[in-house]
């Protein structure tokens, strides 16, 4: 009887793990992050809207590596310096928020590791 019970528990644990995996996959399908990707930013308003769009899975949306695109004139001079400085500040703000979120994730992973051991 106890052999059948432990076999049943093992099967339930497998089913439980599979259900968690399926739920995780469904959740990740909604992720809009760009982990390891690139975001080219040239318009402050568009970038601000993009950086403030949350990820339905992770909360904070990872935009990958952000490149500040500066549009220049014939002689290499930046055309819109006001937009460029505003965009530069937005990118700095985004990078600070991203670093904080990565620190928070490391703390959560550390807590998980401690709870499992
Ligand atoms: Zn995400």
Query: Do 112 and 61 sit in the same domain of this protein?
Result: yes
Query: Do 88 and 73 sit in the same domain of this protein?
Result: yes
Query: Do 23 and 41 sit in the same domain of this protein?
Result: no
Looking at residue 76, the DSSP 8-state letter turns out to be S
Query: Do 99 and 72 sit in the same domain of this protein?
Result: yes
Model confidence pLDDT, tens digit, residues 27-75: 888 999 999 999 999 999 999 999 999 998 889 999 999 999 998 899 9
Place of tokens 């703000």: 93
pLDDT at 35: 92
pLDDT at 12: 93
Number of other residues whose CB lies within 10 A of the CB of residue 87: 23
Q: Which residue has the higher pLDDT, 115 or 42?
A: 42
Query: Do 38 and 59 sit in the same domain of this protein?
Result: yes
Distance 85 CA to ligand 1 centre (A): 28
Distance 46 CA to ligand 1 centre (A): 19
Query: Do 15 and 39 sit in the same domain of this protein?
Result: no
Distance 57 CA to ligand 1 centre (A): 5
Q: Whose CA is closest to 86, among 39, 52, 49, 47?
A: 47
Q: Which residue has the higher pLDDT, 115 or 70?
A: 70
Q: Which domain holds residue 42?
A: 32-116
Query: Do 11 and 51 sit in the same domain of this protein?
Result: no
């Amino acid at each position: 009887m106890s052999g059948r019970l432990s076999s049943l528990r093992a099967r339930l644990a497998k089913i439980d793990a599979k259900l968690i995996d399926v739920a995780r996959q469904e959740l990740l399908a909604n992720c809009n992050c760009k982990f390891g990707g690139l975001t080219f930013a040239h318009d402050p308003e568009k970038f601000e809207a993009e950086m403030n769009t949350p990820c339905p899975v992770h909360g904070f949306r990872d935009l990958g590596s952000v490149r500040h695109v500066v549009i220049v004139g014939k002689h290499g001079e930046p055309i819109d310096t006001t937009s460029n400085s505003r965009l530069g500040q937005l990118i700095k703000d985004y990078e600070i928020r991203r670093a904080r979120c990565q620190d928070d994730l490391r703390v959560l992973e550390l807590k998980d590791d401690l709870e499992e051991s």
